Amino acid sequence: MNDKYELIIIGGGPAGLTAGIYAAMARLKTLLIEKMTLGGRILFASKVENFPGFPDGISGGELAELMYKQATKFGLEIHYAGVEEIKYREKRNVVKTGDGSFEASSIILAGGCEHTELGVPGEGEFIGKGVSYCATCDANFFQERVVAVVGGGNAAVSEALYLTNFASRVILIHRRNELRASPILQERLLADPKITVIWDSVVKKVQGQKFLEELELGNVKTGKITRLKVAGVFVAIGFKPNTDYLRDILELDKLGQVVTNTLLATSQPGIYAAGDIRSNSGRQAIIAAGDGAASAIFANNFLRGL
């Protein structure tokens, strides 16, 4: 593997893989660096039904595999390693990983965001089996079932309202006695007959056999432990963008996401951001894919001096 490229893409989710397809088709010498498994968070979606071209739906794993095959078909190189640092040196960006350094004139940041997890026993075991971090992705699997949402901000309340289109009952679990969501969202939530709120409580444990069956809750004021029978739980307590290594070189917003302009360009010339890692992203696979395509086009224009 050569250590010098025209373009390096950091992240192998829908944004990174789509950027790889477009860059490889443009015959740019391109390397995609991914620290874990190609596909990103979409791998946790057992069925994706809102991605164009798949009217019967497709699993997240299958969609990622198809993107991978398409990108590598056109010559995209892939290297598995965690990125530790980016430095600018004589019109070249040096990307340092745990497995060596690579140089490129342009970079696309597509590392995405990690959902903030509850960090309780059983959570990891039941991901895709009742534990979800995306109502838009998985709500359809809970038709006429009882589900819970954890959180109290705009994301959690929006998830709860969306789930009422599918679930028979939605229970919002919040650790405080008041919500942080915008007033209009609070009004809609509290007025919806299908939604119940459990205040001053946190999830202590996720339990079940093959699939999630119940949550163990703890009241933060009294310490009382209760159990709640649900078919699913949607965790919406925040996101953490994968940008710790970028804080000293790029402008980030208050949430730590990369600030871009309309061309997806960052504050550093030649570096672009696509998908969930950028500020104001819609956090949908199709939006990330669109960002990936656009960022590759803009990076190509930059490299050609346009």
| Nearest-angstrom CA–CA distance, 77 and 29 | 8
* Ramachandran angles phi, psi of 160, nearest 5°: -60, -45
Single out the catalytic residue among 56, 99, 138, 244.
138
Contact 219, 190 (CB under 8 A): no
What are 187's two structure tokens? 């009004």
Q: Can you tell me the distance from the alpha carbon of 213 to that of 206, in angstroms, rounded to the nearest whole number?
A: 8
Catalytic (active site) residue 137:
yes
- Which pair of tokens denotes residue 77? 């190189």
Q: What are phi and psi of 163, to 5 degrees?
A: -65, -20
Cα 12 to chain centroid, rounded = 12
- Annotated catalytic residue: which of 113, 134, 276, 291? 134
Q: How far apart are CA 169 and CA 283, in angstroms?
A: 25
**How far apart (Å, rounded) are the C-alpha atoms in residues 304 and 23?**
13
138 in active site: yes
CA distances for 109 relative to 20, 21, 212, angstroms:
12, 15, 35
- Provide the token pair at 156: 């959690």
CA–CA gap between residue 271 and residue 250 (Å, rounded): 9
Structure tokens at 210: 């093959």
Does residue 134 carry a catalytic annotation? yes
- Active-site entry in 3, 56, 99, 137: 137
Give me the active site residues, please.
134, 137-138
